Amino acid sequence: MNKKVENVQLTSAEISVLWSTYFSDSMVVCIMTHFIDTHLDPEILPILEKTIHIAKKHMNEVEQLFLKEKIAVPEAFKVEKHVVPNAPKLFSDMFYMQYVLHMCRFGILSHSAGFTISAREDVRKMYKDFMDEASQLFNDVVDSMQEKGTFVRMPFMTYPSESDFIEKEKFMTGWFGRRRSLLAIEVTHLVMNAFQNELGRATCVGFSQVAQDQEIRDYFLRGKHQCKHILNSIHDVLVESDVPNAMTWDNSATNSTVAPFSDQLMLFVMAALSNLGMLTYGSGLSVTMRRDISAMYANFIIKAGAFGEDGLNLMIERRWMEQPPHFEDRDRLAKKEK
C-alpha cells in the first residue's frame, strides 16, 4: 500500500458508508444467530453460517480501520443484548433463505456504492472484496434454492422478433382509456417490488406477534396492512397486462409469541426495509413510461417515507437511535462558553 495514500484522512463519504456497513452487518449477525439456532433443514445451514461469517468479517475489518484512524466504533447491535437465547422459531426455513437472498441484493448495491464513492485505495479494495463476497453468497443462495425448486423466477415473455419504434404519444398515457401492455423493464421492477413487500409483510406479521411494546406492535401491524395494499396495487397492474403471476414461496411466520429479538432490533430491521423500499420504488419510477404507474410509485414512496419516519421517531423517543457520523455545528461551537 502506498504510504502517501494511507496518510490521507478518510472522507465524510468513506466514514459514513463504513459506519453504515458496520451497523447493518451487526444486525445481520444478530438475525443469523437466531436463524442458525432454529433452522430445521440441515441443507441451509452452510448458507446461514457463511452469511454470519461474512458479516463478522466485515465488522472486524471496519472496526480495525476505525481504531487505526481513531474513529469511534459504533455501539450497533450486540448478540448478547438483542438476541433472546433459546427463543422458539419465528419464521420458516424458506423465509430464512429469502431473507439472506434479499440481504445479498442490498449488500451488492450498498458495497458497490461504497466502492464508487471511496477515494482511498485501502477502502476501495475493502469494498471490492465485500462486493465479491456478497455476489458469491448470492450465487450460493440462488443455486441452493433452484436445487430445491423454491427459487421464484421473473415472468417469462415472448422473445422480440424485430426492432420497432414508438409512433404515438399515448405510449405514456395510463389515466384513461385503454392502457398499453407493460414493458419488460416495467414488469421487472413491479415484480421485484412485489417480492420485497411480500418479505416485508411476512416480517411485520412475525414481529407483531412478539413485540413487547404495544405501540411498536401496532406499528408492525400498520406495516403489514401497508405491504398488503402495495401488493394488491402491483397485482392489479400485472393482471391487467396478463403478466403471469410469480409463484409464491412459504414465508409464513410460526405461531410463536416469544420474541427472539429485542424491540429495538426489530424496529431497526423495519426501518432498513422501509429505506430499501423507497430505493426500489425510486428505481421503478425512473424506468416506467406509463403515467399511472409513475403516480403509483410516487404514492408508494410517500407512504414508505412516512412509515419509516414514524419508526425512527419511535426509536428516538426510546433513545434507541444511535447518532450517525455528522459534521460539526459551527454556530453551536461559536456560542460555547470558553
Q: Tell me, yes or no, whether 157 lies in a domain.
A: no
Find, among 230, 228, 204, the residue nearest to 217 by Cα. 204
pLDDT for residue 315 is more than 80: yes
Question: Which letter does DSSP use for residue 11 in this model?
Answer: P
| Residues 293 and 235 placed together within one structural domain of the fold | yes
Domain of residue 212, residue span: 171-317
Q: Which of 171-185, 238-252, 253-267 has the highest mean pLDDT?
A: 253-267
| Residues 18 and 138 placed together within one structural domain of the fold | yes
Position 133: which residue type?
A: E
Q: Tell me, yes or no, whether 292 lies in a domain.
A: yes
| Residues 26 and 74 placed together within one structural domain of the fold | yes
Arithmetic mean of pLDDT, 201-206: 95
pLDDT tens digit sequence for 121-139: 999 999 999 999 999 999 9
| Residues 31 and 122 placed together within one structural domain of the fold | yes
| Residues 227 and 194 placed together within one structural domain of the fold | yes
| Residues 195 and 274 placed together within one structural domain of the fold | yes
User: Alpha-carbon distance 230 to 103, whole Å?
Assistant: 21
Kindly indicate the confidence band of residue 336, based on its pLDDT and cuts at 50, 70 and 90. Answer: confident
Q: What percent of the chain has pLDDT over 90?
A: 76
Kindly indicate the confidence band of residue 244, based on its pLDDT and cuts at 50, 70 and 90. Answer: confident
Q: Tell me, yes or no, whether 160 lies in a domain.
A: no
The answer to whether 115 touches 124, Cβ cutoff 8 Å, is yes
User: Alpha-carbon distance 311 to 207, whole Å?
Assistant: 14
Query: Which secondary structure element, helix H or strand E, spans residue 96, and what is its range?
Result: helix 93-117
| Residues 131 and 39 placed together within one structural domain of the fold | yes
DSSP secondary structure letters along 118-148 = --SHHHHHHHHHHHHHHHHHHHHHHHHHHHH
| Residues 144 and 184 placed together within one structural domain of the fold | no
Model-wide pTM > 0.95 = no
The answer to whether 217 touches 166, Cβ cutoff 8 Å, is no
pLDDT tens digit sequence for 31-64: 999 999 999 999 999 999 999 999 999 999 999 9
CA distances from 271 to 11, 79, 148, 282, 294 (A): 26, 19, 31, 17, 24
pLDDT for residue 175 is more than 70: no
| Residues 30 and 61 placed together within one structural domain of the fold | yes
Provide φ and ψ at 83, rounded to 5°.
-115, 130
Which of 113, 148, 183 finishes a domain?
148
Non-local (6+) Cβ contacts of 80 within 8 A are: none
Between 297 and 7, the higher pLDDT residue: 297
Which of 116, 148, 180 finishes a domain?
148
Q: Tell me, yes or no, whether 166 lies in a domain.
A: no
First to last CA, the chain: 42
Q: Tell me, yes or no, whether 159 lies in a domain.
A: no
| Residues 183 and 309 placed together within one structural domain of the fold | yes
What pLDDT shows up at residue 76?
Answer: 95
CATH number, position 287: 1.20.1260.10
Q: And the C-alpha cell for 241? A: 397486462
3-state helix, strand, coil in the chain (%, to 5): 70, 0, 30
Q: In this predicted structure, which of 64-73, 191-200, 324-333 has the lowest mean pLDDT? A: 324-333
> What's the total number of domains in the chain?
2
What pLDDT shows up at residue 335?
Answer: 79
| Residues 198 and 311 placed together within one structural domain of the fold | yes
Arithmetic mean of pLDDT, 201-219: 96
Q: What is the dihedral of CA 143, 145, 150, 156, to 10 degrees?
A: -30
| Residues 189 and 80 placed together within one structural domain of the fold | no
